[in-house]
Amino acid sequence: MSPMPPPRPARSAAVVAALFSLDPAGLGGIWVRAPFGPARDGFVEHVRALLPAGAAIRRVPAGIDDGRLLGGIDLAASLAAGRRVMAAGLLAEAAGGVLVLPMAERLDRALCARLAQAQEGRFGAIALDEGIGPEEHLSPALADRMAFALDAADLLARRPPARVRGLGAARRRLVRMRMDDGVAEALCHVAAQLGIFSLRPVILAMRTARAAAALAGRRSAGEEDAMLAAQLVLAHRATRLPAPAEQDMDQAPEPPPPACGDDAAPPAPPETEGEQAADRVLDAARSALPPELLAALLLGQGRRGAAGGRAAAPAAATAAHGRPLGARPGRPGREHGLALVDTLRAAAPMQALRRRERPDHPGRVIVLGSDFRVRRHQAPVRSVAIFAVDASGSSALNRLAEAKGAVQLLLADCYVRRDQVALLAFRNRGAELLLPPTAALARARRSLAALPGGGATPLASGIDAARDMALGARRRGNRPLLVLLTDGGANIGRDRQPGRAAAAADARAAASACAADGIPALLIDTAPRPNAFAAELAGVMRARYLPLPFADARALSRAIRAEQAA
């Protein structure tokens, strides 16, 4: 009678959709990381079909204002009716149902904070994340609150069945669902083994286990349900690989008390039933580790971004403050306040005419929606200093340590000015993002200190990567400044093949692209003696050229400040 296949096929979109539809508010949401397309739309449609009749499903446009999101006074309607007319917000409308968040990787920070605040147990969210690369993704604060994650491969893996039977009965069962002893322990152990520190995922996994048991027609959630929950909720959050099963017995998370202790200590069995259950659940989770995450963990890189900062959530460039720019017609909302005087000024010439049309409003100013004027402000622009550090062997020999020191001083400078910083390093075959734009200086310093040196110099790739990042920062309304630290010894081209001549040509091309985009830049020459090629490159880039031997920290800092002031 069970409508569900056995839990082995991990991360199946159909299973996730069915579980989520049982308790969307409790399970928080599904993070769908997939490009726009029929597979994704089909999945959202599928979830919609599974929800009980009458459950709300609402789409949140990216530019939604507070009035529409949280509800409030409907100004135009209030004026027309001459009394207070309230409008319900989208969040209230979606209570108990589902909110769909398109372009979830670009949701601004304020909106994410509001959604996270409102979400707890009130609605489920389907976040449609179209981010490309590790830098763009859903805000971690929201992702933490969503039980499930799917990516494009999961959506394509199998077409969900048109309908799932028995959901109504499962929903009724869920209300009184019990849970076997040991499920909580098992899930806690698995989370610890996978390096998941937040406790919210564990709680979400417990709710998932209950939903899974309800779907399978059981009265109590047991080990099987815990395994499914570990696969669906915990596996994709892993920040480290669990110890192999064989070693588990020797390296249990808590070493058993010494056997020769006082007589009060119970004889410690090698492994209790509960621990064995935890191991089985862990095995299930291990089998469901997404392959690309597995590869990253094997390389010891962990999951950058997802674990730490809110890399993608662009700095909110709402223009609710800053230098005033004057009024223009529009709707007052989160971004623009109503400019009262300008509104009345706009309404004034029409008064005689309007009074004739509305004799029921004698002696009052009649203001219509079309009269509204809103204040506009110039949003303060944030500077983002992008440090691209040449960490190649020649540079390491020369003065990587000194370059690091210079960057550190500059970082302290940025801290004082509240600039954001980003850190890129290039060596061997390519450029690596060490730190997406952030205001957290401690992290910048740590990534810098941990930066190893050695290998060839893919200068062109480094410049290209820095340019991409600068353009991204500009798209988000920030002002980028590129600081390139190199000794000019380019020897790897864009095609990743060694060869000095080609590498130099490519570096020149990359530099001129920067100049064409008008990205302000500084080139700090880290060679022992000023390097002719580095100086030439600075010319092509239209960058200020600073040879390190002559540039002490103070001069560097002055140069950056001058560049940013420009």
Partner 1 sequence: MGPYPFSAIVGQAEMKEALLIAATEPALGGVLALGDRGTGKSTAVRALAALLPAVSAVAGCRYRCDPADRRRLCPECRARRVGGRLPRERVRVPVVDLPLGATEDRVVGALDIERALADGVKAFEPGLLARANRGFLYIDEINLLEDHLVDLLLDVAASGENVVEREGLSLRHPARFVLIGSGNPEEGELRPQLLDRFGLCVEIRTPTDIGERIEVVRRRDAFEQDPAGFARRFAAAEAGLRDAIVAARRLLPMVAVAEEVLALAARLCVALGTDGLRGELTLLRAARAKAALEGEVAVTPAHLRAVAPAALRHRLRRDPLDESMAGARVDRALDEVFVA
Binding mask 54-83 for partner 1 (x = CB under 8 A): ------------x------x-x--xx--xx
Q: Which of 151, 128, 152, 153 is nearest to 138 (CA)?
A: 128
When asked if residue 243 is in the footprint of partner 1 (CB under 8 A), the reply is: no
Phi and psi at residue 122, to the nearest 5°: -105, -30
Answer for which of 144, 151, 283, 468 binds partner 1 (CB under 8 A) is 144
84 touches partner 1 (CB under 8 A) = yes
Strand, helix or coil for residue 107: coil
**Window 346-405: residues binding partner 1 (CB under 8 A):** 364-365, 367
Contact in structure between 546 and 523 (CB atoms under 8 Å): yes
Q: CA–CA distance from 389 to each of 74, 392, 401 (Å)?
A: 53, 9, 11
| CB of 77 or CB of 535, closer to partner 1 | 77
CB of 129 to partner 1, least distance (A): 19
Q: Which is nearer to partner 1, 38 or 269 (CB)?
A: 269
Among 117, 247, 301, 370, binds partner 1 (CB under 8 A): 117
Distance CA(397)–CA(413), nearest Å, equals: 27
185 binds partner 1 (CB under 8 A): yes
Cβ at position 337, least distance to partner 1 in Å:
6
Check residue 87 for interaction with partner 1 (CB under 8 A).
no
290 part of the interface to partner 1, by CB under 8 A: no
Per the DSSP assignment, residues forming a β-bridge with 492 are 498
Task: Tell me whether residue 141 or residue 153 sits nearer to partner 1 (CB atom).
Answer: 141
Is residue 92 at the binding interface for partner 1, with CB under 8 A as the rule?
A: no
Burial label for 285, CB within 10 Å (0-12, 13-18, 19+), is: buried
The reply on whether position 108 binds partner 1 by CB under 8 A is: yes
| Cα–Cα distance for residue pair 347/369, rounded to 1 Å | 10
Pick the closer one to partner 1 by CB: 164 or 196.
196
Determine contact, residues 240/195, Cβ cutoff 8 Å: yes
Q: Is 440 in the site for partner 1 (CB under 8 A)?
A: yes
Q: 478: closest CA among 377, 563, 381, 566?
A: 381
Residue 403, strand partner residues: none
Q: Say whether residue 468 binds partner 1 (CB under 8 A).
A: no
CA distance 239 to 10: 19
Structure tokens at 466: 């820095």
Q: How far is the CB of 108 from partner 1 (least distance, A)?
A: 7
CA nearest 520: which of 543, 551, 489, 550? 543
If one asks whether residue 408 binds partner 1 (CB under 8 A), the answer comes out as: yes
Taking alpha carbons only, the member of 564, 526, 520 closest to residue 542 is 520
Rounded CA-CA distance 422/383 in Å is 11
The mark string for 414-433 relative to partner 1 (x by CB under 8 A, - otherwise) is -xx-x---------------
Q: Which of residues 371 and 525 has its CB atom nearest to partner 1 in the complex?
A: 371
With respect to partner 1, which residue has the nearer C-beta, 317 or 513?
A: 317
Residues 196-225, one symbol each (x = binds partner 1 by CB under 8 A, - = not), give -xxxxxxx--xx------------------
Tell whether the torsion through CA atoms of 389, 394, 399 and 401 is positive or negative: positive
CB of 490 to partner 1, least distance (A): 31
Amino acid at site 83: R
Residues at the site binding partner 1, with contacts judged by CB under 8 A: 66, 73, 75, 78-79, 82-84, 108-114, 117, 140-141, 144, 179, 184-185, 187-189, 191-192, 197-203, 206-207, 253-254, 308-310, 316, 318, 320-321, 332, 334, 337-338, 340, 343, 364-365, 367, 408, 411-412, 415-416, 418, 438-443, 445-446
